[in-house]
């Protein structure tokens, strides 16, 4: 069975993740399929809007399918990962800038690559099972797929908190933090998709009262610190051991780079600038970062005990985020 289904359904272009057994993890081929469908429908007068949904109850898309990247890099081929990220980010930009409405129905886990697809849509719907997160610092990566752009627009210090800790957001948190737009109870989703396909009109989406956000009530002022060390010191002074736990487990390089990425993205004029900066890090991470060790510990061996070794100094962070020169990402007509 294919991992992704694309088809036209009355007034809608339909994209459906169809590998629930793998939590709908996004592969390179799937990213290219999504991009191709969006290209085909952009100027198709029969398609008024796009609907993106997923099979299964557990996940909309729990992230990128990164095992292939790991094995290729371990064998000395770092271009497999770079090609995947480059094509994925072009697809993310196309979703964010698409001239027609894109409605994403995001149940269950929505993480990493799933945020890149659903979180960049124009109409982002969540339900009671939704759990959104950008947990990349735990595998030696950074919040990419436009994650730094979305985090940069979260209220106050929520972007720094979510990016560094990888904390999960329920539906109320996701809407408050800017990762989603509307709460609709999941039993109503099939009928709503039918109306969208029939009418081609996103105005048929009826907002329900948004669940409360626990995140909104939290004091995140410690994350205003100038550096990761300052943030940790403030949390230690406050005795906030619960928030310190994920920071003590995460890659120091990834956290330092994430802090820089989120703050830099606040000055960006478009998501393309944020994606280009993310690409600089991800293009180098298999060779010069903690990514391979993070994937080994969390996904391959599953011992959950990464031995972080990458240089986390300001100079190395600056290098990881410096221009790729002739290898900078290009956008074509994305």
Active site residue 241: no
Q: What is the mean pLDDT of residues 285-304?
A: 94
Per the annotation, the verdict on 328 as an active-site residue is no
pLDDT, average across residues 302-321: 96
Indicate whether 286 pLDDT > 60: yes
How many residues can be counted in the chain? 334
Q: Which regions of 134-216 does DSSP assign to beta strands (E)?
A: 182-183
- Answer CATH for 4-327 from 3.40.50.720, 3.40.950.10, 3.40.50.300, 3.90.226.10: 3.90.226.10
Q: For residue 55, which of 87, 89, 17 has the smallest C-alpha distance?
A: 17
Catalytic residue among 35, 88, 144, 278: 144
- How many angstroms separate the CA atoms of 242 and 240, rounded? 6
Which of these is catalytic: 113, 118, 119, 172?
Answer: 113
3-state SS of 283-333 is HHHHHHCCHHHHHHHHHHCCCCCCCCCCCCCHHHHHHHCCCCHHHCCCCCC
Predicted local distance difference test score (pLDDT) of residue 65: 86
> E strands, 93-251, where?
102-106, 109-111, 123-126, 131-133, 182-183
- pLDDT for position 1: 56
Catalytic residue from among 13, 64, 119, 163: 64
The two three-digit tokens of residue 23, written as one number = 């939590």
Of 74 and 207, the one with more pLDDT? 74
CA proximity to 53, closest of 20, 22, 100, 84: 20
Which pLDDT score is estimated for 207? 83
The yes-or-no verdict on residue 8 having pLDDT over 60 is: yes
pLDDT interval class at 332 (50, 70, 90): confident
pLDDT of residue 333: 62
Convert the pLDDT of each residue in 225-268 to its tens digit: 999 999 999 999 999 999 999 999 999 999 999 999 999 999 99
Q: Is 64 designated active site?
A: yes
Active site residue 225: no
Which one from 35, 88, 136, 160 is the annotated catalytic residue?
136
> Where exactly are the structural domains of the chain?
4-327
pLDDT of 334 above 60:
no
């Amino acid at each position: 069975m294919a991992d992704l289904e694309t088809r036209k359904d009355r007034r809608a272009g339909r994209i459906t993740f169809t590998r629930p057994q793998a939590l709908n993890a996004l592969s390179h081929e799937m990213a290219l399929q999504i991009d191709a469908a969006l290209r085909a429908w952009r100027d198709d007068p029969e398609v008024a809007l796009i609907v993106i949904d997923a099979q299964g109850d557990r996940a909309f898309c729990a992230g990128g399918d990164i095992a292939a990247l790991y094995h290729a890099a371990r064998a000395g081929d770092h271009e497999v990962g770079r090609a995947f990220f480059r094509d994925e980010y072009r697809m993310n930009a196309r979703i964010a800038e698409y001239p027609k409405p894109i409605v994403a129905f995001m149940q269950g886990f929505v993480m990493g690559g799933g945020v890149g697809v659903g979180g960049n849509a124009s109409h982002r719907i969540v339900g009671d099972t939704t759990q959104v997160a950008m947990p990349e610092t735990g595998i030696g990566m950074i919040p990419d797929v436009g994650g730094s752009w979305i985090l940069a627009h979260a209220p106050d210090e929520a972007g720094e908190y979510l990016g560094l800790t990888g904390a999960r957001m329920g539906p109320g948190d996701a809407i408050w933090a800017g990762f989603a737009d509307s709460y609709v109870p999941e039993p109503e989703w099939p009928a709503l998709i039918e109306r969208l396909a029939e009418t081609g009109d996103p105005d048929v989406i009826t907002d329900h009262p948004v669940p409360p956000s626990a995140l909104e009530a939290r004091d995140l002022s410690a994350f205003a610190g100038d550096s990761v060390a300052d943030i940790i010191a403030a949390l230690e002074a406050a005795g906030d051991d619960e928030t310190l736990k994920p920071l003590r487990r995460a890659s120091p390089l990834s956290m330092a780079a994430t802090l820089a990425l989120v703050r830099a993205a606040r000055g960006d004029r478009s998501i393309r600038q944020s994606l280009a900066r993310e690409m600089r890090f991800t293009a180098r991470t298999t060779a010069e970062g903690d990514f391979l060790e993070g994937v080994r510990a969390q996904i391959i061996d599953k011992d959950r005990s990464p031995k972080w070794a990458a240089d986390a100094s300001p100079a190395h962070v600056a290098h990881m985020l410096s221009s790729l020169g002739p290898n900078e990402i290009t956008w074509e007509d994305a």
